[in-house]
Structure 1
Amino acid sequence: MDSKTLTASADDAADMKALPASPQLSWYAEAGPRAQRAFWSCKVGYMLDGMDTQMLSFVIPTIVATWGITLADAGFIGTITLLSSALGGWVAGILSDRIGRVRTLQITVLWFALFTGLCGLAQNYGQLLAARALMGFGFGGEWTAGAVLIGEVIRARDRGKAVGLVQSGWALGWGLAALLYAVLFSVMAPELAWRALFLIGLVPAVLVLFIRRYVKEPEVFEQAKVRQQDTQDTPRFTEIFAPRLLSTTLRAALLTTGAQGGYYAITTWLPTFLKTERHLTVMGTGGYLAMIIAGSYAGYLCSAWLTDRIGRKPNFILFALGSMAIAFAYTSLPLTNASMLWLGFPLGFFASGIFSGMGAFLTELFPTRVRGSGQGFCYNVGRAIGALFPVLIGALSSHFGLGTSIGMFAVAAYGVLIIAALTLPETRGRELESA
C-alpha cells in the first residue's frame, strides 16, 4: 500500500459517502456464513471478555472486608489490569499479523478465561494481583484480535455496523456480570460467592472449541500471507513507525487516548465526586447501574449505525461533544438523586458509544500486513495513557477541587480526540488492501 492509500482526498471522501450502507439488520443475511460465524465468535468473545473484566468491580468490597486490604490496594488491582491489558493488546496485534487473526483470538480467549478462574482460587492479595494482571493481558489481546478479524471479513459498506455490534457485547457482558453477582451473593456467603463468580469466568474457554472448528481466516489476510511467502517478506511490527505510516500511527494513538482518557476521567471519579461533594447516594444502587448499562448498549448500537451512515470522523466528534456535555452536567449542574438516575443513560450512551466506531476506523487505516500491529498499538497506547488520567485527576483535585479536575481532564481528552479525528482521513467505505 502506498502513501496515497493513507491520505483521503476530497474526491475519495465524496466517493466513500456515496456508498449506500445496508440496513441495520439486512447486512447480516447478506454477509454469508463465513462472516456470520466470525461475527458471533467475536461478539460472544467480547461479551464474555466484558463479563470477566467487570467482575472485579462487584467483589471489591467483599475482598477488602475479607482480607483487610485498603481501598488503594484494591484500586491498584484495577490499574494493573488496565496496564497489562494495554501490553497484551499490542502483543496480540503483532501475533495476529504473524500467526493469524483466528489463532490469536483462540489463544487470548483461553488466556483470559484461565486466569479469571485462577482469581477465584487466590489465597491472598498478591496471588489475586498476579492472576488479575495476567487476566488483563489476555483481555486486551482479545479485543485486538477480534476487532481485526471482524473488520476484515465484513464488506466495506457494513464494516462500521458489524464491528460496532461486536463492541456492544461489552455492555451485555457487564450486565451479565451484574446479574451473576446478584444471584450468587443472594444464595451464598460473600466469602464464597466472590470465588464462585470468578470461577464462572472459566466458561469462555468453551468458545475456543467453536472458533477452532468453524471460524476461518479472512480472505484478505490469507492472500497477503501467500504473497509474503512468495516474496519471503515477513511483516515487522516496526513498520507502523516507518515514515509512510508514522503520522497515521501517532494520530490514531492520539484519537484512542482521547476516547479512553475521557472515559476513565468521567467514570472513575464521578461516583466519588457525587457522593462526597454532592452527597448523592443513587449511584450506588442497582437502578443507576442498570441505567448506565442500558445507555451503554444503546450508545454502541446507535454509534454502530451512525458510523456507516455519516462517516467515522463525524461520528467520533458527535459522541465526543455529547461526552463533554455530560461531564459538564455532572460536575456543574445542581443534581438531585432523581435527575442523577436519569443522567446515567446519556452517560453510558456517549462515553461508551464513542468506542463503537473505533475498530472499523483503525482497521481501515492500516495495510493488511501490519493491520494487527497498528490497531493493537494505537488502541492500547490510548488505554495505557488513559489509565493514568484518574491518578492525575486525584492529584490535581487538591488544588482545583474534584469536580473542576474531572471537567478539565474530560474536556482536554475529548478535545484531543476531536483534533486527531479532524486530521485523519475519512475511511468510510474504504476497501481493504492486502498489501
Structure 2
Amino acid sequence: MDSKILAASAVESAPSSDAAVRERSWYADASPQARQAFWSCKVGYMLDGMDTQMLSFVIPTLVASWGISLGDAGFIGTLTLLSSALGGWLAGILSDRIGRVRTLQITVLWFAIFTGLCGLAQSYGQLLAARALMGFGFGGEWTAGAVLIGEVIRAKDRGKAVGLVQSGWALGWGLAAMLYAVLFSVLPAGLAWRSLFLVGLVPALLVLVIRRYVKEPEVFSQAKAAQAEAGDRPRFTEIFAPKLLSTTLRAALLTTGAQGGYYAITTWLPTFLKNERHLTVMGTGGYLAMIIAGSYVGYLSSAWLTDRLGRKPNFILFAAGSMAIAFAYTSLPFTNAAMLWLGFPLGFFASGIFSGMGAFLTELFPTRVRGSGQGFCYNVGRAVGALFPFLIGALAKQFGLGPSIGIFAIIAYGVLIVAALTLPETRGRELESA
C-alpha cells in the first residue's frame, strides 16, 4: 500500500509528459540501496514515534495509581524533549565520526531498550530516569536517519523521500493509540500501561535489518576515504567557523520557529478548548484520530510540495497555514462538530511543516560535518521550542491562555519565515558540491 502512496504522491499535473512519467517513477528508479535505506529509516521513525507517544496515553493512569501531580507528569515530557535535543546533537557528531548506519543502529537499540525499561519502573524517579534516557535515543534516531536518507536519495527526489520518512511519525502515533485502546480494553490499567511500554522493545529487532541490508551512503564513504588519506578528521566545531556560522545560526532559528510553534499549538490548545470553551469533543478519540490523519496527509503533501515548489516557499506556506489555524482556534467561536473537523488542518499544517526540514538541513551543510550541523540545528530548535509551553503558561496568568497561545504561535512562525527568507534555496542541490 505504501508503495502506491509513494508513487501517487509524485504525480504531476500533466501526466502525459515525459517529465511527469519520470516524477511518478522516482521510487521505482531508486537504487536497491536507496530503497532499503528508505524503508529502514521510515519504519525506524514510525517506531520512534510509537515509543515516544506512549507517555501521553498513560499519564492519566500514572496520576491515578501513583498519585503524582500533573506538574510531575508534565516534567517527564519536558525532560524527555530536552534529553532528546542533547541526544540528537551528539548523534549528529557521532554519525560524522563512525557513520550514519552505525549511529542509526545504536540510537534505535537505545530508545527501544529504555522504552521497555519504562514498563518496569517501580517509582516516579525510575520512570523519569528511564524516560529521559529513552529521549536521548529518540532524538538521536531522527538525526542519524535524516542524514542517511538525505544522502542516499538523488537530489531531485530528496524532499519527497525525506518527507515520506518523516510521515512515519504519524503512523507511529496512530499505532500507539491503537495499542493503547487494545491493551487497556483487555488488561487492568495497572498492567496495561506497563505492557504498552514493554511493546516498545519491538523496534530493537529493526537493528538486525539495518545491520544486514543498509549500507553507508556513497557520498559519505568517499568523504571519509578522502579524510583518511589526508589525515583530516572533521571536528563538530567547524559548523561554528566563519564559513558556516551564519548558516548554522539561521538554520537553528528556522527549526526553533517550527518546533516552538508546534509545541505552542499542540500542548495548550486541548486545555484551552476544553476548560475555557467547554468543548467536550476535546476528550474524544475521534478528535485525536482527526489530528493524526491530518498530520499524515500533511507530511505527504509537504513532501511532494518541497520538491515541487522549493524548500523555502514550502516552509512559508505551511507556516502561514499554522498561523491561520492558531488564530482560528483561539479567536473564533466553534461548535463541537466544527472543532472535530478542524483537527484535520491543525495536524496538516503543524506537522506537515517538518517534512521539508530533513532535506533542507542535509543540503545546507557539507558532507564532512553534515551530521553535526543537522543534529545541532534541529535539536537547538527542539530544546528552545520545549520551553514554549512553560512560557505560555506563565504569560497566560496576565493575558489569558488563548491570546498567549496566539502570541507565541505568531512569534514562532514569524521567526521561521524570516529565517527561511534569509537562507539559500537548496532544491536540487547535489551533495558532492555542497
For normalisation by structure 2, the TM-score amounts to 0.95
Q: CA deviation at 1:241?
A: 0.1
**Structure 1 match to 2:378:** 379
Alpha-carbon distance between aligned partners in 2 of 1:193 and 1:229, rounded to the nearest angstrom: 51
Pair 82,24 (structure 1): closer, same or farther in 2 beyond 3 Å: farther
Residue by residue over 1:287-331, the C-alpha shift from the partner in whole angstroms, topping out at 9 and shown as x without a partner, is 000000000000000000000000000000000000000000000
Alpha-carbon distance between aligned partners in 1 of 2:22 and 2:316, rounded to the nearest angstrom: 23
**Structure 1 match to 2:270:** 271
Alpha-carbon distance between aligned partners in 1 of 2:247 and 2:22, rounded to the nearest angstrom: 31
Q: CA deviation at 1:247?
A: 0.1
**Structure 2 match to 1:12:** none
Alpha-carbon distance between aligned partners in 1 of 2:23 and 2:199, rounded to the nearest angstrom: 33
Alpha-carbon distance between aligned partners in 1 of 2:123 and 2:20, rounded to the nearest angstrom: 52
Structure with bigger RCO (C-alpha 8 Å, 6+ apart): 1
Alpha-carbon distance between aligned partners in 1 of 2:390 and 2:318, rounded to the nearest angstrom: 24
**Structure 2 match to 1:426:** 425
Please say if residues 220 and 434 of structure 1, whose CA atoms lie closer than 8 Å, have aligned partners that are also in contact: no
**Structure 1 match to 2:192:** 193
**Structure 2 match to 1:413:** 412
Does residue 370 of structure 1 match 2:382? no
Q: CA deviation at 1:426?
A: 0.1
Does residue 38 of structure 1 match 2:53? no
The within-5 A match list for 1:159-174 is: 159-174=158-173
**Structure 2 match to 1:9:** none
Pair 239,72 (structure 1): closer, same or farther in 2 beyond 3 Å: same
Residue by residue over 1:222-279, the C-alpha shift from the partner in whole angstroms, topping out at 9 and shown as x without a partner, is 0000000000000000000000000000000000000000000000000110011101
Q: Which one is further off, 280-289 or 96-105?
A: 280-289
Please say if residues 263 and 352 of structure 1, whose CA atoms lie closer than 8 Å, have aligned partners that are also in contact: yes
Residue by residue over 1:19-56, the C-alpha shift from the partner in whole angstroms, topping out at 9 and shown as x without a partner, is x6876652111011000000000000000000000000
Alpha-carbon distance between aligned partners in 2 of 1:383 and 1:23, rounded to the nearest angstrom: 36
Alpha-carbon distance between aligned partners in 2 of 1:203 and 1:404, rounded to the nearest angstrom: 42
Alpha-carbon distance between aligned partners in 2 of 1:434 and 1:236, rounded to the nearest angstrom: 20
Q: CA deviation at 1:433?
A: 2.1
Alpha-carbon distance between aligned partners in 2 of 1:384 and 1:22, rounded to the nearest angstrom: 42
* 1:246 partner letter: L
Q: Which sections of structure 1, spanning at least 5 residues, go unmatched?
A: 1-19
Pair 22,107 (structure 1): closer, same or farther in 2 beyond 3 Å: farther
Please say if residues 280 and 337 of structure 1, whose CA atoms lie closer than 8 Å, have aligned partners that are also in contact: yes
Alpha-carbon distance between aligned partners in 2 of 1:21 and 1:224, rounded to the nearest angstrom: 34
Alpha-carbon distance between aligned partners in 1 of 2:52 and 2:289, rounded to the nearest angstrom: 17
Q: Secondary structure at the match of 1:278?
A: coil
Please say if residues 369 and 434 of structure 1, whose CA atoms lie closer than 8 Å, have aligned partners that are also in contact: no
Pair 22,281 (structure 1): closer, same or farther in 2 beyond 3 Å: farther
* 1:390 partner letter: P
**Structure 2 match to 1:180:** 179
Please say if residues 21 and 309 of structure 1, whose CA atoms lie closer than 8 Å, have aligned partners that are also in contact: no
Q: Percent identity?
A: 87
Q: CA deviation at 1:211?
A: 0.2
**Structure 2 match to 1:5:** none
Q: Secondary structure at the match of 2:431?
A: coil
* 1:68 partner letter: G
The alignment yields a C-alpha RMSD, in angstroms, of: 1.2
The within-5 A match list for 1:2-401 is: 25-401=24-400
For normalisation by structure 1, the TM-score amounts to 0.95
Pair 289,299 (structure 1): closer, same or farther in 2 beyond 3 Å: same
Alpha-carbon distance between aligned partners in 2 of 1:192 and 1:94, rounded to the nearest angstrom: 39
Please say if residues 253 and 381 of structure 1, whose CA atoms lie closer than 8 Å, have aligned partners that are also in contact: yes
Please say if residues 368 and 434 of structure 1, whose CA atoms lie closer than 8 Å, have aligned partners that are also in contact: no
Q: CA deviation at 1:335?
A: 1.0
Q: Secondary structure at the match of 1:433?
A: helix
Pair 21,254 (structure 1): closer, same or farther in 2 beyond 3 Å: farther
Q: Secondary structure at the match of 1:163?
A: helix
Alpha-carbon distance between aligned partners in 2 of 1:23 and 1:311, rounded to the nearest angstrom: 18
Q: CA deviation at 1:101?
A: 0.0
Pair 291,423 (structure 1): closer, same or farther in 2 beyond 3 Å: same
* 1:118 partner letter: L
Q: Which sections of structure 2, spanning at least 5 residues, go unmatched?
A: 1-18
Pair 296,23 (structure 1): closer, same or farther in 2 beyond 3 Å: farther
Q: Secondary structure at the match of 1:54?
A: helix
